[in-house]
Amino acid sequence: MCPARNTGNGKRGYIIPIGGAEEKDDKPVILQKFFDLCGGPSANIIVIPTASKLGRIGSQYMEIFDEFGAAHVDYIKVENRDDCGRATILNKLDKATGIFITGGNQLRLSTILGGTPLAKKLRYLNAHGIHIAGTSAGAAIIPEHMIAGGSTGPTPSESGVVLSPGLGLTNAIMIDQHFRERDRLDRLLTALAYNPFACGMGIDEDTAVFIDPDDMLEVVGSGAVTVVDPGDLKYSSIGEARHGETISLINARLHILTSGSKYNIATREPFIE
């Protein structure tokens, strides 16, 4: 699945996957940067809390963006697939300058949103300049291929990851969140063994990547982003591995990027500033 086409003259919106547990009180630099990007005092931000069963999570983010000074903040209550086609819900997105997808269970997102008019509208809006951020599960759903589960540890294995379709806002990267805190290198490596076309992004908690319309990303936050680039991969044993067997990956490149670092997804070049 390729991202939706931009049918106008404007640029695509930013894509902002967040590794989860972003700071919300003392120094909410990630949420503040998203708010500023969406227009600051003129921002119209819509929160999508579908991934969570916690009833207050939508209003929690609404309060944060409201305290920042947004012109308008709202959330859409999407609890089943029928909701994803309701005009009253879809129309709320029409004036949004930014959309924020909360954390929770990414399979709730994929099974409720996948293939619906709401998912199609999110892809269209992002292609036409609307910025979309997601934290934790909301980050996992952003790319074409979503990491839905898997094992933990440093070593990839044949059964080390569970994949499902994502929103397809980008097909150039694969994302895993809570990365260092939950020791998820193995499942990101396994996912890339299956799909070496994409670039892997393991995002720590309280850390985000702001991906601009030209596929240049900037790291923001207190942690790091582990970039795994399989572009020059010489060999993967995933095709011959038995169930659960450790796999070989030869010539994959790895970068650790901290706040302020940049990375060009198209050229696979890191920049330290």
pLDDT digits (tens, 9 = 90+) for 49-65: 999 998 899 999 999 99
pLDDT higher than threshold 80 for residue 230: yes
| Catalytic residue, candidates 110, 205, 218, 236 | 205
| Catalytic residue, candidates 22, 178, 218, 261 | 178
Tell me how far apart the alpha carbons of residues 212 and 262 are, in angstroms, rounded to a whole number: 11
Tell me how far apart the alpha carbons of residues 270 and 217 are, in angstroms, rounded to a whole number: 9
CATH architecture, domain defined by 15-271: 3-Layer(aba) Sandwich (3.40)
* Structure confidence at residue 7 (pLDDT): 80
| Catalytic residue, candidates 110, 136, 236, 261 | 136
Continuous segment of H or E residues that includes residue 15: strand 15-18
* Structure confidence at residue 60 (pLDDT): 96
Tell me how far apart the alpha carbons of residues 120 and 84 are, in angstroms, rounded to a whole number: 10
Contact 11, 213 (CB under 8 A): yes
pLDDT higher than threshold 80 for residue 97: yes
> Which of 117-149 are b and which e, b meaning 16 or more Cβ less than 10 Å from the residue's Cβ?
ebbbbbbebbbbebbbbbbbbbbbbbbbbbbbe
pLDDT higher than threshold 90 for residue 2: no
Tell me how far apart the alpha carbons of residues 142 and 115 are, in angstroms, rounded to a whole number: 14
Confidence band, pLDDT 50/70/90 cuts, at residue 182: very high
What digits encode the pLDDT tens for the residues 67-85? 999 999 999 999 999 999 9
pLDDT higher than threshold 90 for residue 183: yes
* Structure confidence at residue 195 (pLDDT): 86
Query: CB neighbours (10 Å) of residue 150?
Result: 20
Tell me how far apart the alpha carbons of residues 259 and 225 are, in angstroms, rounded to a whole number: 9
pLDDT higher than threshold 80 for residue 156: yes
Please give the single-letter amino acid code of residue 240: E
pLDDT higher than threshold 80 for residue 153: yes
- What is the rounded average pLDDT of the residues 100-114? 97
What is the residue whose two structure tokens read 């892809």?
A: 123
* Structure confidence at residue 206 (pLDDT): 98
Tell me how far apart the alpha carbons of residues 105 and 209 are, in angstroms, rounded to a whole number: 21
Q: Output the CA–CA distances (angstroms, integers) from residue 56 to 50, 78, 90, 95, in the order listed.
A: 11, 14, 21, 24
Q: What is the mean pLDDT of the chain?
A: 96
Smallest Cα–Cα separation from 199: which of 162, 168, 170?
Answer: 170
Contact 191, 163 (CB under 8 A): yes
- What is the rounded average pLDDT of the residues 81-104? 97
* Structure confidence at residue 143 (pLDDT): 98
Task: Give the 3-state secondary structure of residue 127.
Answer: helix
* 178 included as an active-site residue: yes
Q: What residues does each domain of the chain span? A: 15-271
What is the residue whose two structure tokens read 């990851």?
A: 161
- What is the rounded average pLDDT of the residues 139-157? 97
* Structure confidence at residue 86 (pLDDT): 97
* 237 included as an active-site residue: no
* Structure confidence at residue 8 (pLDDT): 78
* Structure confidence at residue 1 (pLDDT): 65
